[in-house]
């Protein structure tokens, strides 16, 4: 792919690729047109989500915990092991999230039956109410932000990103999903 080299493009990503082609002919620049916008979008979307969550009075980790419980269906209860698996975070991270949410009255914990070390986490009514309001705010805002794409474009992009993510995970041997910038 060749990029214009006049430095006058209206899309800075093209300027970056063109400059590398000019300064280092033969340098592979094809990824710049994909990776740079993904990083930029991740930053913009992450910052916007944090603003929405701040206004809602919840942090991303708590939203994740409450979302996993809410999506599990009635009675909105999962073991800490299952929470860890579905959240794709460590047991230690789940323990910290649960402790914070429990102190805020959003979840309860109780021993599981049959297995001595099993701990069950359940949404409280306050946790259920908070996630019901917050999920609409977050997903509504994100739907608004991607509204510049048609339904067909959104579907195409969803499929392309799924393919790219799965292939990159395979190449890196890493199937975790985490927040941008997290280790």
pLDDT in tens, 169-181: 999 987 665 544 4
10: confidence class by pLDDT, cuts 50, 70, 90:
low
pLDDT(9) > 70? no
Q: What is the CA radius of gyration of the chain?
A: 21
What whole-number distance in Å separates Cα of residue 114 and Cα of residue 181?
39
Query: Which phi and psi angles does 63 have, rounded to 5°?
Result: -60, -45
How high is the pLDDT of residue 1?
54
CA angle 60, 66, 72 (to 5 degrees): 135
Mean pLDDT (whole number) for 92-101: 94
Total-model pTM: 0.79
Q: What is the pLDDT of residue 145?
A: 97
When the pLDDT of each residue in the chain is averaged and rounded to a whole number, the result is 89
């Amino acid at each position: 792919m060749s990029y214009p080299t006049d430095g006058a493009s209206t899309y800075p990503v093209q300027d970056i690729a063109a400059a590398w082609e000019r300064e280092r002919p033969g340098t592979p620049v094809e990824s710049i047109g994909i990776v740079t916008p993904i990083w930029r979008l991740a930053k913009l979307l992450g910052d916007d989500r944090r603003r929405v969550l701040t206004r809602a009075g919840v942090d991303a980790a708590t939203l994740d915990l409450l979302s996993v419980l809410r999506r599990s269906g009635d009675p909105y209860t999962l073991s800490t092991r299952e929470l860890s698996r579905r959240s794709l975070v460590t047991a230690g991270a789940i323990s910290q999230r649960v402790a914070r949410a429990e102190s805020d009255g959003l979840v309860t914990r109780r021993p599981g039956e049959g297995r001595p070390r099993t701990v069950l986490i359940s949404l409280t009514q306050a946790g259920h109410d908070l996630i019901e309001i917050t999920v609409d705010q977050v997903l509504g805002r994100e739907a608004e932000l991607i509204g510049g794409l048609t339904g067909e474009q959104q579907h195409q992009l969803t499929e392309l990103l799924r393919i790219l993510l799965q292939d990159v995970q395979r190449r890196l041997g890493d199937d975790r999903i985490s927040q941008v910038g997290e280790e």
